[in-house]
Amino acid sequence: MSATITPVDAPGPDTAPTPAARLRRFARPGAALLSGFLLYLSFPPRPLWWLALPAFGLLGWTLGGRRLRAGFGLGYLAGLGFLLPLLVWTGEEVGAGPWLALAAVEALFVAAAGLGITAVSRLPWWPFFAAGVWILAEGARARVPFGGFPWGKVAFGQADGVFLPLAAAGGTPVLGFAVVLCGFGLYEACRRLRAYRATGAVPRGPLAAAALAVLVPVTGALAALPLVDDSAEDGTATVAAVQGNVPRLGLDFNSQRRAVLNNHVARTRELARAVKAGREPQPDFVLWPENSSDIDPYANPDAADVIDGAVRAIGVPTVIGAVVTPETGKLRNTLIQWDPERGPVATYDKRHVQPFGEYIPMRSFVRIFNSNVDRVSRDFGAGTKVGVFDLAGTKVGLATCYEAAFDWAVRDTVTHGAQLISVPSNNATFGRTEMTYQQLAMSRVRAVEHSRSVVVPVTSGVSAVIRPDGEIVSQTEIFTPDVLVEKVPLRSSQTPATRLGTLPEALLAALAVAGLGWAGARAVRARRTSAA
């Protein structure tokens, strides 16, 4: 019995993919990486905040209509394109391993967002649901693991942007939502315009969704402008921020503790001489940065003596950043209120200590991959009390360095009465990378979010004084000893963002969950219909 060759069995023409087809296969992965990189470029020190809009527009094209598995993979590529360059500073002194591991883990949250955006991309009004999904993923990333890592929230790239007033309306979640929504809306508007040119049909519902996705954020930002107020409700205060600088860059600055302390003492005494000579106004209080005295002044009388001498010379309350080393238990990253007459009178222990920087989770396991963990030979412990110091009648809220990235850590100080916020930091570990500028942008967003002046004293820079409208009125150069003396407005009223707290984020998360639930229900109905 001879075999019959069917059309399926018959050899056909060469079906090898053409070069153009091969390129099309890589179009969406390439677009995903590019969207993430554009989002990175929108962050400081570049004033290119507007690049976030095409970044999300391109991401919308990349994810729209894909399968869920593809959405996860494309989202992960977008996360790598964004976070690998954004977080490169984390490997400045400890090598590429920790940087790559951190970016790889954090990109998983972007991958989850990609999956969710893909799921809602076929829904009516999808840009709103998709923007909610992004904020939901940011909220998760800000909380887990190890207390979260909110670095790279979209809002932190918008300190120079037109949407910034929305920070005062609903905090970083509302600001970030507006940017993402506008980017997706611009893409959807372009998509509908292209469809109209091809078919001549005008789908009113989708077109209205696209228009509102653009107009709502822009209109909201304009409506929020009156919330941005830098008037002096409670008078003014003259504040001095001391940047003593460090002898050398990098992790080894901790071995130069006395030199760092001496630098801050010297700058403070220079300020005292300048005030006496009339070259500088008398400050109401002085702010030193985090780690300005890594020598515990409670345990080392010589350190206490030089600090006390500098504070007596300037004659006003001074906040000292110190490492406190109790005989037993964990170290403390402490801010000390030092009175010129009474010495240390109050303390604030940093509440959110940095994992893998100030303490090492799973130390024995992590050591297998990087021996640098043993540079942190003794873990820091977290404080429990909100930090608000009364400095010569001004209530100053304290958020130490890493805490500025966390919404709750800054808001708590304002709800506890802070009229001004201080963010003492130590960025010497990260050299001349973009880290210090990224962190400075956070403080600018916080200033608008809570309508407070923000003072950022940093050991090695960039130190800055920021008004409640987010404007930097003075700043230092990086790795340069300096002192900033400025008169700043004091305020006690609370913005809607301060009063509402986590409610806006919860509502946006609920929007995302509703969209995902709707998309899931539609998928189930579609499967049942096809099965029938």
Map residue 502 onto helix, strand or coil: coil
State how beta strands 318-324 and 453-456 pair.
Answer: unpaired
**Cα distance between residue 121 and residue 116, in whole Å:** 9
Sheet holding 482-489, edge to edge: 343-349, 332-339, 318-324, 285-287, 236-243, 482-489
Partners of 422 in beta bridges: 398, 455
Residue 435 DSSP symbol: H
Q: Which two tokens stand for residue 390?
A: 């009364």
Quick check: 89 and 485 in contact, CB under 8 A? no
Catalytic residue numbers read 290, 350, 401
Sheet holding 420-422, edge to edge: 388-391, 394-398, 420-422, 453-456, 464-466, 472-475
Quick check: 228 and 165 in contact, CB under 8 A? yes
Q: φ, ψ for residue 391 (rounded to 5)? A: -110, 100
Per-residue CA distances from 431 to 2, 440, 478 (Å): 79, 15, 9
Map residue 242 onto helix, strand or coil: strand
| Residue 64 φ/ψ region, left for φ over 0, alpha for ψ in the -120 to 50 degree band, beta for the rest | beta
**Where do we find the tokens 């609920």?**
510
Per-residue CA distances from 394 to 148, 430, 463, 472 (Å): 32, 32, 20, 21
Map residue 111 onto helix, strand or coil: helix
Please name the helix (run of DSSP H) or strand (run of DSSP E) that holds residue 173, with its range, or none: helix 166-199
Quick check: 107 and 80 in contact, CB under 8 A? yes
**Cα distance between residue 485 and residue 286, in whole Å:** 9
